[in-house]
Amino acid sequence: MFTKIISQANYKNISMTPMSKKKMPKFYKTSVALRTWGQSGLAFGVTGFVLVCYVTEWRTVLQYVPYYNGKYAQMDINEALDKIRETSNVIERKKNAGRDFQQERDDAIIADNLNKEEIINLVAGKL
């Protein structure tokens, strides 16, 4: 195709400016290079993208892709629930650390002073 265009340009069938005649060989070289290396470049680009997603945290990179966002949304929900549970445990530990546990000590002293029969009667009476 290119040779046909160039031959027509050389035989004056197609009017071309001097700048166009200068650009045509460069365009041809570029198109040949793209045909030759385009698929390889595309393959390396896709592979590079996959490796970047692997090296970085992939859920951060792929959160905008609808398939991954829907598929792994449950994992994000579970992580959020785990954080909530952890926070509630920390709050409960801090709350318990602030208490003096006097009631628990009194219950332990009473339980030590009671014999087994009294404990059974006490538990049966509460039920």
- Locate 127 and state its tokens: 């039920």
Question: Is the residue at 14 inside a domain?
Answer: yes
User: Do residues 3 and 46 share a domain?
Assistant: yes
pTM over 0.75: no
Q: Which amino acid is at 120?
A: I
Q: Cβ neighbours of residue 119 under 8 Å, at least 6 residues apart?
A: 111
Give the residue numbers spanning the domain of 11.
Answer: 1-55
Question: Is the residue at 67 inside a domain?
Answer: no
Question: Is the residue at 85 inside a domain?
Answer: yes
For residue 15, what pLDDT is reported?
61
Q: How many domains is the chain built from?
A: 2
Question: Is the residue at 83 inside a domain?
Answer: yes
pLDDT at 21 over 70: no
- CA gap 27, 20 in Å, rounded: 10
- CA gap 119, 105 in Å, rounded: 17
- CA gap 80, 15 in Å, rounded: 69
